Amino acid sequence: MENILADTPGYDSTFYRTSAGAELDLILRKGRSVLAFEFKSASIPRVSKGFWSALDNINPDEVHVVAPVNEPYPLKGEVRSLLFR
């Protein structure tokens, strides 16, 4: 998360969580641009129903699931996994 924050100067950072359980670990906003990130420790990242609900609520421009995967790959639609080591 710290590396992403360092690489996105000028973005406001926050997280997203509702009482119904929808959540995203990191939301970055700059003007009308919204980036969403979910962080997973598993090499086969799985996201919850609340993750998809949160995406529907905030409608980000980009969505990434950051996990220790060998290569980035699409999870569903435009949602992609990202490599971290």
**pLDDT by residue, tens only, the chain of 85 residues:** 999 999 999 999 999 999 998 999 999 999 999 999 999 998 888 888 999 999 999 999 999 999 888 888 788 877 877 766 5
Return the pLDDT at 83: 67
pTM for the full model?
0.87
| CATH code of 18's domain | 3.40.1350
DSSP 65: E
Structural domain count of the chain: 1
Amino acid 70: pLDDT: 83
**pLDDT the model gives residue 50:** 92
**Cβ 82 vs Cβ 66: under 8 Å:** yes
The position carrying tokens 């999870």 is 75
Q: Which domain holds residue 46?
A: 2-83
Amino acid at 64: H
